[in-house]
Structure 1
Amino acid sequence: MLTLFSCFFFGEVNAQDAPRINDHNNNGWYMYFGDHKLSEKWGLHTEVQLRRYNVLKDPQQLLLRTGVNYYINPDAFVTLGYGFIETSPYGDYPAPDEFLEHRIYEQLQLKGSIGRIGLTHRYRLEQRWVESPLTSDYTYLNRARYFLKATIPVVGPTLDVNEPYLAAYEEIFIGFGNNIRQNIFDQNRAYLALGYKFSPAAAAEVGYLNQIVQKANGVVFERNHTLQVGLTYNLDFTE
């Protein structure tokens, strides 16, 4: 936590060397997530995110992510995976053209609880190859992410099938290594939603995401107000 705070602090200091520009956008993210157990120890992660600018009207980003899960125990698993991202120009300070990103990632995900509150911790490292929209050359970047999510049942002390729940998460992104410019602090996401558990395998959430993104120049800060609609469906092929 001290390292994350230091990176955030120094990123903010560097950004203050130039006048800060705030770019406010209204977005919509429509998402599917699935972690599917293939055996006692192994599984497959699947994920599709369609991100739109102006909530639904214009393209913003397409994200496809997959990975191989290894289950350490019922409350912990690690993943090695790949992500494909296509980003379109959007906002008042858009990229010159569409560009692609290819991403390898490693993560550890842990589950726990404090009383009625269910907790999910996710630690992720990313190796990113980001295309220049001007030259089509790729730049290699490293990034670390920490994600903490809490879920609280609305009815009763536990979250059961056919019951609603509240969800909230916070995630911070930190860039490091070569080719990082002013945005050591890359972005932060804060989220609040209402969810519903349809079955042991399926749940849906609708909520609000406040996303702050510092562009590479350290001057433009996106302030993205985002509608998030997500479906989680986890299949267990061992049953």
Structure 2
Amino acid sequence: SSLDLVVPEKRLVQEINLSNPLSNRFTLQQRFRIDERFIRKNNGSDLLDGYAFNFRFRYKLQANYKINKEEAKNVTTLKFSDELMINAGSGIIYNQFDQNRIYAGLEQGIIKNISAELGYLHWFQQRATDNQFFDRDIIRLTLHHKIKI
């Protein structure tokens, strides 16, 4: 069935990240990203020869708030973000709006340079066919390891 079809995608990415500390505890982060996407052609149930190409423009705004003081051994950070993705290209007919991801999470320091983050992600995505959408609720667990070079 079409739900079992795995469609390969190759992607080139360029991004710019900006971080604006507004206080000792509050930081706004922005990410501007361009994806050059090469998506395997398919008919909904089988893969076909060749790849279709399109651009995807992404903008993410994230707010981070450190709940405890900077000097705390294990910092706790509250995170909120919203990422909007827009498709562009000659093959894009119905889904210029690709998706929107809204996230809220809590990151907790465990030991030096290691933290864990637990959060909720609401993922709303338009499919390539007209007026069909995915509406997903996701619980995300992330392990962060910061390496200083």
TM range (shorter): 0.7 to 0.9
Q: 1:181 aligns with which of 90, 93, 99?
A: 93
State the SS of the aligned residue for 2:118.
strand
More helix by share: 1
Q: Distance in 2 between matches of 1:203 and 1:173?
A: 28
Q: Distance in 1 between matches of 2:144 and 2:71?
A: 15
The answer to whether the 8 Å contact 1:205/1:231 transfers is yes
Could you say which residue in structure 2 is the equivalent of 1:165? 77
Percent identity over the alignment is 26
The letter for the 2-side match of 1:234 is: K
The letter for the 2-side match of 1:184 is: Q
Over 3 Å counting, the alpha-carbon distance change for 1:145 and 1:130 in structure 2 is same
Q: Distance in 2 between matches of 1:187 and 1:118?
A: 25
Q: 2:15 aligns with which of 67, 88, 107?
A: 107
Moved over 6 A (4+): none
Q: Distance in 2 between matches of 1:193 and 1:164?
A: 11
Which stretches in structure 2 are left out of the alignment for 5+ residues? none
Q: Distance in 2 between matches of 1:176 and 1:99?
A: 19
State the SS of the aligned residue for 1:179.
coil
Shift of 1:213: 0.2
Structure showing greater relative contact order (alpha-carbon pairs closer than 8 Å, 6 or more residues apart): 1
> 1:131-170 maps to which residues of 2 (within 5 A)?
131-133=40-42, 134=46, 135-156=48-69, 158=70, 160-170=72-82
Q: Distance in 2 between matches of 1:232 and 1:136?
A: 39
Over 3 Å counting, the alpha-carbon distance change for 1:199 and 1:113 in structure 2 is farther
State the SS of the aligned residue for 2:8.
strand
Which stretches in structure 1 are left out of the alignment for 5+ residues? 1-88
Tell me the TM-score normalised to structure 1 length. 0.56
- Aligned residue pair count: 144
The letter for the 2-side match of 1:201 is: N
Tell me the TM-score normalised to structure 2 length. 0.86
The answer to whether the 8 Å contact 1:190/1:211 transfers is yes
